[in-house]
Structure 1
């Protein structure tokens, strides 16, 4: 599970913000735990560590690419599953579908490619060459063999701004 600095959300740590009865980060964390997959969390805010007792913690206060690289550097398996801590609609079944797909895989709603994404070790070198505030999205889009697991658009919702919480609660 990867997490950045959440600067668009404002001064409060978004991953600690209560959403649907629990801290936002616990939605993704609970889905990951239910899969039984090994669990590493890359966190920028040390206060989030206490919310993730089941995870091996990697601290990184850098850019998206640095956060992704910090997590991948801890992976010993032949692939990594990237799950973001601010996507509350992702559940264990979706993560399992991505994990079961051969080769690189990501969610797709017919328009957008989004995490969770499975990244084979063969692509780690390309991710380690990324710089700045970018993740693996462009790399995934460029792969002709990317397995696109289609889901409804609402499952790809992420919380970037405080208004994203308000929009969801009002609908």
Structure 2
């Protein structure tokens, strides 16, 4: 079984004074785009959040609350809540993901990750056997640094557009 882990606790420093995950993109809050893809895929869903307003946008998710901090902290907190065979890590600022892609990665042999031809990116499927390694990461690092060293990594090819995340206010245009 796979549990989707939505990381939605970032501080949005480059975005500006407002929370980017609450910003409206194509008619709904940014975080709802990947959240809806997870729900449409029918996956168990856990979200790591720091902001109560973001938590309110994710009523269908089991919530893990953290203090704002680096990505490794959110990843660790979320993985600690997962009892399935693997976690499908999804970032809350990636609005172009869809259920079909999430299911392709979740059903591939783990470990698996999206690949745009040059970069390993989330969404990524991490087997429970890698959880200790991943939870040992520190700072603002996700699992990509570990995944790219794995000879058994299943790379799921996707377009750069699909993997585009929102960092700046101008990215919403």
Which TM class, normalised by the smaller chain length?
over 0.9
Query: Normalization by structure 2: what TM-score?
Result: 0.94
Larger helix proportion of the pair: 1
Q: Does 1:73 align with 2:73?
A: no
Other-structure match for 1:135:
142
| Separation (CA, whole Å) in 1 of partners of 2:162 and 2:56 | 26
Q: Does 1:105 align with 2:131?
A: no
Q: Output the aligned Cα RMSD.
A: 0.8
Report how many residues are paired. Answer: 166
Other-structure match for 2:133:
126
Structure 1 residue runs of 4 or more that deviate by more than 4 Å after TM superposition: none
* Structure 2 stretches lacking a partner, 5+ long: 1-5
Select the residue among 46, 50, 54 that pairs with 2:52. 46
Q: Does 1:91 align with 2:98?
A: yes
Larger strand proportion of the pair: 2
SS at match of 1:30: helix
| Separation (CA, whole Å) in 2 of partners of 1:44 and 1:135 | 17
* Structure 1 stretches lacking a partner, 5+ long: none
Select the residue among 152, 158, 162 that pairs with 2:165. 158
Other-structure match for 2:3:
none
